[in-house]
């Protein structure tokens, strides 16, 4: 049994890095590729990767919500949008990018800055036990400490719903 | 102090003629009789005032009488000029002379200048002249004397050129003024030399300072003295500046009597008498020689002249030479004595000649003869029956000038010759001085009697007019009689002395010589001693010389025993030289005037053709060029370059910076991110 | 996996990539995708900090709220984009921009 533990950890570590690599590469694909549909699919993979990361972070509920809402809702919406806003003659819908050079440089340096900031910052870290599940905790918090934001976000959603409906009504 | 009659009378004597000048010159034309009564009235008043002063002087009988008053005219601390008047015996006698002769001239001119076209101006100028002459007499400092000196020159110019439509008169007046000016340069240099050494212009401080011997001495003082004497050379018409006086006869005869016989030319002598204390022995020797040379030179010229006024003019020059000679030899009171007597008889001689000329004019006019010269003695002759008053008066004055005893001239000329003789006795190397003096005296007697014989005696040379010759009106004869009687000795030797051979009297008592201020000069007493010893010798010699002259004239012109013509031919060379005034004017013209004019011409040409054309115009062109360049620079360089440049630069910058506003949202976003990055990096450092 | 830094590293990479996408891409929908990436990166940050701070569930709540907001925003954005497409026939950002050049 003692032997299995480190191996399991190593395995987990490896999987973690694979998922991270997947996420990041997909994200790069999203922003670099000229073809929109390909970007959308890559976004799909990125979102899945992020969900995986959530699992590693013991955020089971959030991972679930990520897949449900992001992938199932937002991504589908995006793909619908793509389909509705392009004259599709073939599957290859290409769009050029702009100012990639300067943008790349600036972004790169921004990343350097962020990296330096996060490595130099003295984070206060406190270890914790892996919880059974987070759903119960989140549910309690939503209806006790964070009741107000919860209600407001509901109203916001309602507003968005109505807004989207109004917007897509057209001229009738 | 101003209430004192001793001050106020001289001031009145000074300013009344000026007032008359102002009134007559501005209002003369509008006044009845053109204002001559204003002038005559003022001059008679001044004469009365001067006589009062003279009377006071006689009553006081004080040889040291002296009164002065001055006021500060300019005071700048380092530079002071005080103006004032000085009244002493010398002044009073001189004032009397000036006012007397001036009054006679005013009265004489009433008849002589009757009907003249510029009658009022004539009287105005006479007033101006009298004012300036009195200014010289009353001055107690060199500056006001110099100012009056110049004014006298101006009056002379105005009066000589009274008939300026005649070219000869205009030229003569110009010549007189300019020659005077040459002398005045020397005068001014002398004044300034004295001032720079002594620091004062007034006589008393100057004499004191020279006597002290510290401020100015030796060669400097001699030069200053000679400079001042130059003024006298010009004004009193000495050699070599004697050329103007004969030409000045172009003026009216009364003017000649007043100015060029009695007063203006005497101003030089008066000035030398006043300033006698500053002359060093060196200066005095020069003065004596100039006087002697002038005396003999003028006498030699007068011998051959035919114009009656010219004879008198040269005679004046000669007599002035005598006076200057006297000053040079130290007998300066004798010089002043001769000035006094000469003023009287020379003025009279001029008036008489004026009377003769006036008569000739009328006679010629009657027969409409305008070509014959009324002044030429060769056209006269035998006037003594026709003009008896004129004749006798003129005879009296001629006897005086010839130096015949019983007359005034004898006394004064004798004193001068005594002085010259004694001077030569003590310094035998200067024997020429008395020699020239006596020669000139002989010649004087000769030519004056020649004049008398030619004019009044013998047969008339121009029968056509002889019957019309008549005596002159009373305005002319009155002064003649007055001055003629003053030619007798008696008026100068009262109250002690009735001996015609002795010159003691009020004059010699009251006008005493002062000691020279120059240390080391002979004192007045010593000079008087010397002169006294030579007195009898001089008297004898002058008697001999005078009689010789008269005899010669009698023989040639009255008896016609010796023919003048033969002599003039035999001594043709001398005659020629005498008649042509020794060619002074011609030589001056050739060697002085013409080169000067040529130089002026050359300089004018240089200035005009060369300097103006190239230099001045060049400057103009240069300025134009510079302004062109400057303009271009300003336009293209500054306006277009800098000013427009700013505009263009802004434009270009704007064009460039405009590209920042791409209108693309994502560009702006990029800028935001980049900006954040920059700020953070900046914060980190 | 066991260090906070690695998660932060991942989230910062995602963030930068998303930023790159936003400032580079011409298509409006592609820009939207970039925005989603950014939001995700933020979410990872929240959750990671929540775990490494003694399992404080506040981070989870925030992540939840962010996801909900992202959904609402994506819906409205797409509605707008479709509208734009219907009106201008293109959703190229350069072409639909009315900002002055």
Chains within contact range of chain C (3+ C-beta pairs < 8 Å): A, B
Q: State the smallest CA–CA distance between residue B682 and chain C in angstroms.
A: 21
Confidence at residue A89, expressed as pLDDT on a 0 to 100 scale: 59
The share of chain B scoring above pLDDT 90, in percent, equals: 13
Give the Cα separation of B319 and B297 in Å (integer): 11
pLDDT interval class at A66 (50, 70, 90): very high
Instruction: Please say whether the beta carbons of B416 and B342 come within 8 A.
Output: no
State how far residue B645 is from chain A, nearest Cα, in angstroms. 33
CB pairs under 8 A between A and B: 19
Among partner residues B670, B680, B681, which is closest to A106 by beta-carbon distance? Answer: B670
CA distances from B492 to A39, B263, B339, B499, C96 (A): 153, 19, 12, 11, 139
Phi then psi dihedrals of residue B407, to 5 deg: -115, 160
Considering CB atoms only, which of A98, A109, A110 is closest to B666? A98
Q: Contact C100/B663, CB-based, under 8 Å? A: yes
The 3-state DSSP class for residue B73 equals strand
Contact B157, B58 (CB under 8 A): no
Contact across the interface for B677 and A98, Cβ inside 8 Å:
no
C-beta atoms of B677 and A110 within 8 A: yes
C-alpha separations of B519 from B111, B221, B406 in Å? 53, 11, 40
Contact A103 B677 (CB under 8 A): no
Taking an 8 Å cut-off on Cβ atoms, the answer to whether B666 and C99 are in contact is no
Q: Output the six-digit token pair for B385.
A: 């029956």
Q: Is the pLDDT of residue A72 over 90?
A: yes
The predicted pLDDT at position B201 comes to 85
Of the candidate ranges A7-11, A15-19, B49-53, the one whose mean pLDDT is the lowest: A7-11
Residue A78: the pLDDT is 93
pLDDT of B229 reads 92
Of the candidates A102, A103, A113, the beta carbon closest to that of B677 is on A113
Best of A6, A107, A136, A141 to mutate (most C CBs within 10 Å, chain C): A107
The stretch B419-440 carries a mean pLDDT of 84
Among A14-23, A47-56, B37-46, C90-99, which stretch is predicted with the lowest mean pLDDT? C90-99
The yes-or-no verdict on residue B500 having pLDDT over 70 is no
CA B527 to CA B530: how far, in whole Å? Answer: 5
Token look-up 């033969």 returns: B566
- Given a cut of 70, whether residue B524 has pLDDT beyond it is no
Cβ pair C78:A80 closer than 8 A: yes
Note whether B460 and B381 are within 8 A (CB).
yes
Average pLDDT, chain B: 83
**pLDDT over 70 at B562, yes or no:** no
What is the pLDDT at residue C47?
A: 95
To test the contact with chain A by mutation, choose from B662, B665, B680 the residue with the greatest count of A C-beta atoms within 10 A, namely B680
Decide if B160 contacts B258 (C-beta within 8 A): no
Cβ-based contacts of B669 with chain C (< 8 Å): 22-23
Residue C36 forms contact with A (CB below 8 Å): yes
Query: Which of the four pLDDT bands, split at 50, 70 and 90, describes residue B407?
Result: confident
Res A50: pLDDT? 96
Residue B498: the pLDDT is 62
Chains in contact with B, where contact means 3 or more Cβ–Cβ distances below 8 Å, are: A, C
Mutation pick from A99, A102, A120, A121 vs chain B, by most beta carbons of B within 10 Å, is A99
If one compares B20 and B65, the residue with the highest pLDDT of the two is: B20
State residue B31's pLDDT score: 73
Model confidence pLDDT, tens digit, residues A82-139: 888 877 655 555 567 777 888 889 999 999 999 999 999 888 888 888 888 889 999 9
CA distances to A116, A164, B667 from B681, rounded to whole Å, are: 12, 42, 21
Helix (H) or strand (E) holding B491: helix B490-493
Tell me: pLDDT of B613 over 80. no
Tell me: the pLDDT tens digits for B114-130?
A: 878 788 888 899 999 99
Task: Give me Rg for the CA atoms of chain A.
Answer: 21
Tell me if C58 and A28 make a contact (CB, 8 A cut-off). Answer: no
Dist CA B27 CA B17 (whole Å):
15
With 70 as the cut, is the pLDDT of residue B292 above it?
Answer: yes
DSSP H or E run through B69: strand B66-75
**pLDDT reported for residue B1:** 47
Q: Is C100 in Cβ contact with B669 (below 8 Å)?
A: no
Helix (H, G, I), strand (E, B) or coil at B108: helix
**CA distance linking residue B674 with residue B656, whole number of Å:** 20
DSSP class of B250: G
The pLDDT of residue A26: 95
Tabulate helix, strand, coil % of chain A (nearest 5). 75, 0, 25
State which residue of chain B sits closest to A99, comparing Cα positions.
B667
**Is B663–C93 a contact, with Cβ atoms under 8 angstroms apart?**
no
In chain B, which residues have their Cβ closer than 8 Å to the Cβ of C21?
none
Chain C residues with CB under 8 Å of A125 CB are 4, 52-53
Q: To the nearest whole angstrom, how far is the Cα of B625 from the nearest Cα of chain A? A: 58
Contact assessment for residue B549 and residue B442, using Cβ atoms and an 8 Å cutoff:
yes
Residue of B nearest to A97 (CA): B666
pLDDT mean over A143-153: 94
Residue B71 sits at φ, ψ, to 5 deg, of -135, 155
* 3-class secondary structure per residue, B133-149: HHHHHHECEHHHHHHHH
Q: Report the mean per-residue pLDDT for chain A.
A: 87
User: How remote is the C-alpha of B544 from its chain's centroid?
Assistant: 35
Q: What pLDDT does residue B157 have? A: 92
pLDDT of residue A126: 86
Beta-carbon separation of B664 and C23 below 8 A? no
Higher pLDDT, B522 or B666: B666
**Strand bridging mode B66-75 / B80-88:** antiparallel
C17:A36 CB<8 A:
no
Least confident segment among B135-144, B335-344, B388-397, B452-461: B452-461
Rounded to the nearest angstrom, the minimum Cα separation between A98 and chain B is 9
Q: Would the pLDDT of C1 be above 70?
A: no
Contact A106 B674 (CB under 8 A): yes
Interface of A with C in 22-51 (CB under 8 A): 23-24, 27-28, 30-31, 36, 39-40, 43, 46-47, 50
At C101, the pLDDT band (50, 70, 90 cuts) reads low
Structure tokens at B135: 């200014």
Reference B292, options B342, B227, B238, B228; nearest CA is B238
Q: Picking from A46-50, B260-264, B474-478, which range would have the lowest pLDDT averaged per residue?
A: B260-264
Q: Does residue B679 belong to the interface with chain A, where contact is any CB pair within 8 Å?
A: no
Confidence at A171, pLDDT banded by 50, 70, 90: low
Q: Give pLDDT, residue B561.
A: 61
Q: Is B370 on the interface with A (CB under 8 A)?
A: no
Is residue B527 scored above 70 in pLDDT?
A: no
């Amino acid at each position: 049994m003692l032997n299995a533990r480190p191996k399991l950890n190593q395995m987990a570590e490896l999987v973690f890095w694979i998922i991270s690599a997947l996420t990041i590469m997909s994200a790069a694909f999203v922003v670099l590729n000229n073809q929109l549909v390909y970007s959308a699919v890559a976004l799909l993979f990125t979102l899945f990767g992020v969900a995986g990361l959530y699992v590693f972070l013991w955020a089971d509920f959030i991972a679930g919500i990520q897949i449900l809402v992001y992938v199932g809702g937002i991504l589908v919406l995006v793909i619908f949008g793509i389909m509705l806003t392009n004259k599709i003659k073939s599957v290859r819908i290409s769009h050029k990018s702009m100012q990639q050079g300067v943008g790349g440089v600036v972004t790169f340096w921004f990343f350097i800055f962020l990296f330096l900031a996060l490595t130099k910052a003295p984070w206060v870290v406190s270890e914790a036990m892996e919880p059974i599940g987070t759903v119960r905790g989140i549910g309690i918090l939503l209806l006790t400490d964070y009741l107000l934001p919860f209600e407001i976000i509901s109203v916001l959603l309602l507003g968005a719903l109505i807004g989207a409906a109004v917007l897509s009504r057209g001229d009738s | 102090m101003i209430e004192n009659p001793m001050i106020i009378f001289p001031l009145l004597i000074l300013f009344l003629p000026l007032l008359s000048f102002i009134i007559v010159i501005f209002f003369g034309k509008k006044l009845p009789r053109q204002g001559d009564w204003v002038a005559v009235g003022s001059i008679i008043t001044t004469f009365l005032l001067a006589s009062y002063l003279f009377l006071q002087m006689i009553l006081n009988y004080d040889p040291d009488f002296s009164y002065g008053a001055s006021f500060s005219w300019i005071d700048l601390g380092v530079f002071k000029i005080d103006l004032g008047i000085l009244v002493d015996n010398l002044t009073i006698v001189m004032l009397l002379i000036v006012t007397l002769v001036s009054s006679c001239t005013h009265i004489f001119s009433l008849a002589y200048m009757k009907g003249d076209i510029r009658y009022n101006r004539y009287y105005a100028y006479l007033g101006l002249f009298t004012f300036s002459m009195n200014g010289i007499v009353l001055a107690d400092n060199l500056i006001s004397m110099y100012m009056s000196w110049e004014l006298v020159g101006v009056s002379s110019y105005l009066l000589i050129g009274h008939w300026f439509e005649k070219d000869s008169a205009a030229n003569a007046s110009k010549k007189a003024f300019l020659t005077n000016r040459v002398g005045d340069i020397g005068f001014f240099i002398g004044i300034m030399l004295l001032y720079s050494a002594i620091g004062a212009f007034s006589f008393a401080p100057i004499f004191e300072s020279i006597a002290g011997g510290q401020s100015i001495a030796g060669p400097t003082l001699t030069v200053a003295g000679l400079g001042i004497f130059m003024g006298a050379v010009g004004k009193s018409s000495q050699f070599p500046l004697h050329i103007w006086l004969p030409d000045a006869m172009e003026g009216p005869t009364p003017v000649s009597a007043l100015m060029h016989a009695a007063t203006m030319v005497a101003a030089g002598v008066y000035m030398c008498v006043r300033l006698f204390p500053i002359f060093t022995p060196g200066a005095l020797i020069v003065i004596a020689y100039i006087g002697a040379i002038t005396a003999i030179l003028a006498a030699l010229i007068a011998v051959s002249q035919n114009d009656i006024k010219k004879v008198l003019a040269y005679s004046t020059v000669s007599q002035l030479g005598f006076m200057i000679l006297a000053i040079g030899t130290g007998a300066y009171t004798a010089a002043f004595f001769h000035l006094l007597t000469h003023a009287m008889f020379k003025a009279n001689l001029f008036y008489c000649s004026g009377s003769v000329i006036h008569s000739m004019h009328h006679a010629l006019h009657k027969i409409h003869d305008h070509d014959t010269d009324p002044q030429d003695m060769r056209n006269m002759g035998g006037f003594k029956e026709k003009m008896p008053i004129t004749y006798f008066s003129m005879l009296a004055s001629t006897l005086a000038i010839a130096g015949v005893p019983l007359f005034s001239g004898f006394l004064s000329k004798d004193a001068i010759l005594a002085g010259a003789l004694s001077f030569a006795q003590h310094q035998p190397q200067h024997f020429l001085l008395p020699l020239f003096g006596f020669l000139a005296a002989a010649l004087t007697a000769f030519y004056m009697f020649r004049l008398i014989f030619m004019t009044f005696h013998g047969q008339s040379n121009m029968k056509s007019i002889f019957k019309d010759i008549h005596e002159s009106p009373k305005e002319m004869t009155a002064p003649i009689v007055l001055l003629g009687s003053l030619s007798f000795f008696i008026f100068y030797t009262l109250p002690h002395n009735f001996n015609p051979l002795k010159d003691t009297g009020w004059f010699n008592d009251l006008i005493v010589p002062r000691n020279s201020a120059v240390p080391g000069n002979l004192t007045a007493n010593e000079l008087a001693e010397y002169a006294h010893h030579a007195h009898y010798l001089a008297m004898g010699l002058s008697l001999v010389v005078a009689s010789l002259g008269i005899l010669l004239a009698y023989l040639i012109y009255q008896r016609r025993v010796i023919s003048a013509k033969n002599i003039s031919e035999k001594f043709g060379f001398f005659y020629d030289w005498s008649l042509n005034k020794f060619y002074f004017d011609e030589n001056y013209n050739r060697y002085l005037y013409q080169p000067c004019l040529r130089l002026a011409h050359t300089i004018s040409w240089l200035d005009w053709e060369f300097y103006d054309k190239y230099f001045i115009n060049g400057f103009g062109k240069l300025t134009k060029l510079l302004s062109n360049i400057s303009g271009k620079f300003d336009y293209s360089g500054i306006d277009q370059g800098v000013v427009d440049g700013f505009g263009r630069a802004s434009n270009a910058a704007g064009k460039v910076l405009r590209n920042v506003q791409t209108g693309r949202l994502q560009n702006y976003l990029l800028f935001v991110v980049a900006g954040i990055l920059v700020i953070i990096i900046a914060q980190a450092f | 996996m066991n260090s906070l830094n690695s998660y932060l590293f991942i989230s910062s990479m995602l963030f930068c990539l998303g930023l790159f996408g936003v400032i580079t891409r011409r298509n409006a929908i592609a820009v939207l995708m970039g925005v989603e990436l950014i939001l995700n990166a933020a979410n990872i940050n929240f959750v990671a900090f929540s775990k490494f701070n003694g399992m404080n569930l506040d981070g989870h709540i925030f992540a939840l709220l962010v996801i909900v907001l992202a959904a609402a925003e994506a819906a409205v954005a797409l509605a707008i984009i479709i509208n734009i497409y219907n009106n201008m026939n293109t959703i190229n950002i350069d072409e639909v921009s009315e900002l002055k050049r």
